A = this chain, B = another copy of it.
Amino acid sequence: MSGRLADLGVDVAHLTICGDRPADLLAQLRFLAADGVDLIVTTGGLGPTADDLTVATVAEFAGLPLRQDPQIRQTIDTVIRTWRQVPADATLPDALVAAIDKQALVPVGARAIPPTGTAPGVAVPAADGRPAVLVLPGPPHELQAMWPTAVRTDAVVEAISGRVIGEQRTIRAYGLSEPDLAVTLREADDAVPGLADVEVTTCMRGGELEIVSRFDGTASATYDALADLLIARHGDKVFSTDASTIDDLLVSRLNGRTVATAESCTGGMVAARLTDRAGSSAYLLGGVVSYSNEVKTGVLGVPAELIAELGAVSEPVAAAMAEGARRVTGADIAVSTTGIAGPDGARPGKPVGTVCFGVAVAGRETVTVTRLFPGDRDSVRRLATTAAFHLLAAAL
């Protein structure tokens, strides 16, 4: 939702999470109001169980009584009857009637947003120096389906009407450390006049450094000067200047070609990420998760003697795995991963975090590389998955 709000030019100052305790939620709502936000958006707590108390708590916060909205009640009743295949003339059990009654309660003066599951959303207009409140369902598909209607309610449109639509630019780098970037940003403090007008935040995630800059239109030239300096110092590590991700870059570089995977330590994470997007069947043919050495040999054709001699975590085995994936799937390009995710498995010269990669491309010699990733099992697997994407993109 922060991303969607940013798309609308709305700046998110606070993100809070609380358990199903009305007192905690109320305290958070009051804090946000006291901090002067224009709009509070809540998700979750609209269900039928007694711990789902968002609407009642928001009503208390806003000092509004609750009333049952008959139209909404009818809608929920119909949804439930359809789902449970109960005819319109049959009586529902008392407990279910109570649940429906509860979900149809709306604060007086607020607008109910038709349910995309069973629970309606609620848009409470701002008043008396308190912000507007938009109450949305928790389940992602219900939330996403309700969003377009929700942001068009009068309460929300008015609450955000005062926003200054600024610019936001994202530069992404891989293989650049935060300390090295910090050195360049300090250089920029001196070299780029007016840099204080550009709000720069950085975040290292999955091995990638995300540099987000926010500024209003008048500082556009300042941002360009900053971006030029970053490219001048780190251009070899920067892979995106328009917020596009390595996933976007890889898909565009594949450009009609097909890809396959051969994974050991990443266990399927690379293939899974390659199939995240709609339309991925156009480029991802498939892959093999060859966790055991027998599967590396039996399915990918990696010679057993090679594994016995050099170990499964070696560049020649990675090469054979990638070539095997190409062979059994017919893909134009394949990437392999074989490594030690940990915590066990370290060998002399191969500590936990060691991962070998192979990239096999039609008509070219297979490329291999060994990397050492920090952190625990999950960290090694995630960093290796991202690395596989960068290796594929680089090979294309």
The residues of A with any CB-CB pair to B shorter than 8 Å are 12-21, 24, 27-28, 31, 34-35, 47-51, 80, 93, 95-96, 98-99, 118, 139-141, 144, 178-179, 181-183, 185-187, 189, 200-202, 204, 261, 263, 265-272, 274-281, 284-292, 294-295, 298-299, 328-330, 342-344, 374-379, 381
Q: Which residue of B lies closest to A144 (CB)?
A: B376
Instruction: Tell me, rounded to whole Å, the shortest Cβ–Cβ distance linking A237 to chain B.
Output: 16
Which residues does chain B contribute within 8 Å of A95, judged by CB atoms? Answer: 182-183, 186-187
- Nearest chain B CB to A236 CB, angstrom units: 18
B285–A295 CB distance below 8 A:
yes
Complex CA–CA separation, A368 to B265 (angstroms):
29
B344 and A96 contact, CB distance less than 8 A = no
* Assembly CA distance A196 to B328 (angstroms): 61
- The number of times this chain is found in the oligomer is 2
**Are A13 and B21 neighbours in the complex by a CB distance under 8 Å?**
yes
B268 near A272 with CB under 8 A, answer: yes
Q: A51-B202, A182-B99 are in contact. Are A278 and B377 (CB under 8 A)?
A: yes
Measured between beta carbons, the chain B residues less than 8 angstroms from A381 are: 275
Q: In this complex, what residue of B is CB-closest to A189?
A: B50
* CB of A330 to closest CB in B, whole Å: 7
Chain B contacts of A342 at CB under 8 A? Answer: 278
User: Are A19 and B24 in touch, CB under 8 angstroms?
Assistant: no
Cβ contact within 8 Å between A186 and B50: yes
Contact of A263 among B200, B268, B330 (CB under 8 A): B268
Residues of B within 8 A of A278 (CB): 342-344, 377
Task: Give chain B residues whose Cβ lies under 8 Å from the Cβ of A284.
Answer: 267, 291
CB pair B268–A298 under 8 Å, yes or no, is: no
Residues on B with C-beta less than 8 A from A21 are 13
- CA–CA, A328 to B49, complex, Å? 47
- Taking a contact as CB atoms under 8 Å apart, the answer to whether B96 and A295 are in contact is no
Asked whether, in the complex, the Cβ of A49 is within 8 Å of the Cβ of B178, the reply is yes
List chain B residues, Cβ under 8 A from A17: 14-17
In the complex, chain B residues whose CB is within 8 Å of the CB of A179: 48, 80, 96, 99, 118
- A49 lies within 8 A of B98 (CB): no
Q: Which of B47, B186, B271, B328 contacts A299 (CB 8 A)?
A: B328
